[in-house]
């Protein structure tokens, strides 16, 4: 029965995706005759693609998990700013 529920969730997602796709194309059609709006849309779409491909973006959960992993690592301390600077430049 659990597998059946999983299939229903996936079908629902596909239906929602199709609805969003339809809405997107209808919205694009509504502004297609306006060059300034189409330029804005294109710039925004390019920005979204950059965000999608940005490896530094992470969810809140991923961020805090990364902090927890870092806290478990041995720390370093430096006697002076110069020593810290030397260490950073050596990386």
3-state class (DSSP) for residue 6 = helix
- Domain boundaries, position 11: 2-90
What is the arithmetic mean of pLDDT over 23-50? 95
What is the arithmetic mean of pLDDT over 30-34? 96
User: Average pLDDT of the chain?
Assistant: 86
Rg of the chain's alpha carbons, rounded to an integer?
Answer: 24
Is residue 47 within 8 A of residue 54, CB to CB? The reply is no
Is residue 37 within 8 A of residue 27, CB to CB? The reply is no
Q: Say how far apart CA 46 and CA 39 lie, in whole Å.
A: 11
**pLDDT band at 89, cuts 50/70/90?**
very high
Domain total for the chain?
1
- Record the pTM: 0.46
Give me the residue label for tokens 């239906």. Answer: 15
Residue-level pLDDT at 8? 52
What's the Cα-to-Cα distance from 77 to each of 4, 13, 26, 80, 83, rounded to whole Å? 55, 50, 58, 9, 9
């Amino acid at each position: 029965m659990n597998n059946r529920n999983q299939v229903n969730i996936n079908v629902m997602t596909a239906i929602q995706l199709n609805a969003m796709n339809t809405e997107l194309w209808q919205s694009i059609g509504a502004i297609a005759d306006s060059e300034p709006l189409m330029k804005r849309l294109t710039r925004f779409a390019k920005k979204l693609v950059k965000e999608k491909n940005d490896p530094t973006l992470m969810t809140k959960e991923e961020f805090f998990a990364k902090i927890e992993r870092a806290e478990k690592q041995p720390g370093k301390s430096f006697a002076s700013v110069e020593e810290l600077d030397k260490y950073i430049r050596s990386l």
